[in-house]
Amino acid sequence: MKTFEAGCKAYHAANSELEAHYGSEQGIEIRNKVPHVDLSLYLDLSNTPHAYALPGIAAAQKASLDEQGSDFTKKYEAFKNRTEMLVQARYQAFCDALGLLGEEMGAEYEFNTSGPLDQRIADVLTKGDLLRKTLLDGFGYVDLLDLESSFSKGFFTVTGLTKIKLYNDLKLCSQIREGGIRISAEERVRLGFHQE
């Protein structure tokens, strides 16, 4: 079974590959928008062949511009396609790693059964935030709000909980803490309040 640590390594490898791609000679050229006078002439010539600045252009120069422009367009398209592929690969690696983190936090939640349910969920989210921030992408946030998020999917898959059931239990925990509800001893045990 894949671990969150392995997921992080895959994400960082994908991110490094993308950064190397952006840092390539062509990447710097495109990112910095290095002006290509010949390319500008080619675009003028191909888009507006009757442009006032081009009537006296020689046939040899036109052929050279066609060749240079065509080559540049092919290189640019190849660069753009590779960029899209690498961005998608990095995003997939990120989602996979976040899903694995959710699974590990779900397993930890299932293993650690002592204490109130709301505190256990808070501990899961706090630790998940910290692990994502320090090991994955530097952004310290995980949630159980969005069922489509990778972390939530991993967590709910392992625990077998549903969002509605979890939120109803969290609401009960809140009401118990505020003293606004009386519940049975069995429910107190289920929610982890029997030790308090």
**Rounded to 10 degrees, what is the CA torsion of 61, 65, 68, 70?**
-140
Secondary structure in 3-state letters for 73-86: HHHHHHHHHHHHHH
pLDDT tens digits, one per residue of 111-167: 988 899 999 999 999 999 999 999 999 999 999 999 999 999 999 999 999 999 999
CA separation (Å) from 174 to 94, 154, 182? 34, 25, 12
Q: How much is the pLDDT for 66?
A: 66
**pTM: predicted TM-score of the whole model, two decimal places:** 0.80
The full set of domain ranges for the chain reads 4-113
What's the rounded Cα separation, in Å, for the pair 88 and 96? 12
pLDDT tens digits, one per residue of 63-110: 666 666 677 778 888 889 999 999 999 999 999 999 999 999 999 999
